[in-house]
Amino acid sequence: MIRARKARTDDAELVRLIRTELIPMSHTARPLDARMIRELPKRFRRGMTYVATRSKFGPPVAFVHFYVHQQQLIVNMLVTHPEHRGRHYGTALMAHAEAYGKARHCHMARLFVDRINGRAHHFYNKLGYHTVRYVPELQCYELLKPLASPS
């Protein structure tokens, strides 16, 4: 089931997923960076977050966070719990995020993938994202995907 994030019940698990799955891949974040962890709820409020759950009231097993900026959908974070990978949660979450962007007239989706996260890079390529550049100071690849045909 895909639904919008419920801060009160979901945020603790989302932060745990970020700490265990995203931060270890990041060149710029550190696992014990208390300030960054404290700011995550603010970051969630500055965009939209969808979560995937196994049941209506179950805990999140995956989530995507994104926002719209200048007719671009910016995918900020996508995480699937390791025990739930391969079940298409990430694909479903990305489809929901892209539909959100299209409904708001976004022409392009943009995201960054950490250099060492080859699995994610491959995943996004399968979804139609193309690498446009490597950003050395972030040690990330920038990927883009057209969302609407130019008019």
- Residue 12 near residue 18 (C-beta atoms within 8 A): no
With cut-offs at 50, 70 and 90, classify the pLDDT of residue 30: low
Mean pLDDT to the nearest integer, 104-116: 96
Query: Cα–Cα distance between 20 and 79 in angstroms, integer?
Result: 10
Mean pLDDT to the nearest integer, 75-85: 96
**pLDDT confidence of residue 125:** 98
Query: Cα–Cα distance between 66 and 151 in angstroms, integer?
Result: 25
Mean pLDDT to the nearest integer, 124-128: 98
Of the two residues 148 and 44, the one the predictor is more confident about is 44
Instruction: Please choose, from the candidates 93, 151, 81, 103, the residue with its C-alpha nearest in 3D space to the C-alpha of residue 127.
Output: 93
**pLDDT confidence of residue 27:** 62
Query: Cα–Cα distance between 65 and 115 in angstroms, integer?
Result: 20
**pLDDT confidence of residue 24:** 76
Tell me: pLDDT of 37 over 90.
no
**pLDDT confidence of residue 147:** 96
Tell me: pLDDT of 149 over 80.
no
Pairing of the two strands 72-80 and 130-135: unpaired
CA–CA distances in Å: residue 102 to residues 21, 28, 35, 38, 128: 28, 30, 34, 31, 15
**pLDDT confidence of residue 40:** 79
> Residues 39-66: pLDDT tens digits?
877 888 899 999 999 998 899 999 999 9
**pLDDT confidence of residue 92:** 98
Which residues, other chains included, contact 87 with Cβ-Cβ below 8 Å and sequence gap of 6+?
A: none
Range of weakest confidence among 5-14, 95-104, 123-132: 5-14
Query: Cα–Cα distance between 27 and 17 in angstroms, integer?
Result: 17
**pLDDT confidence of residue 64:** 98
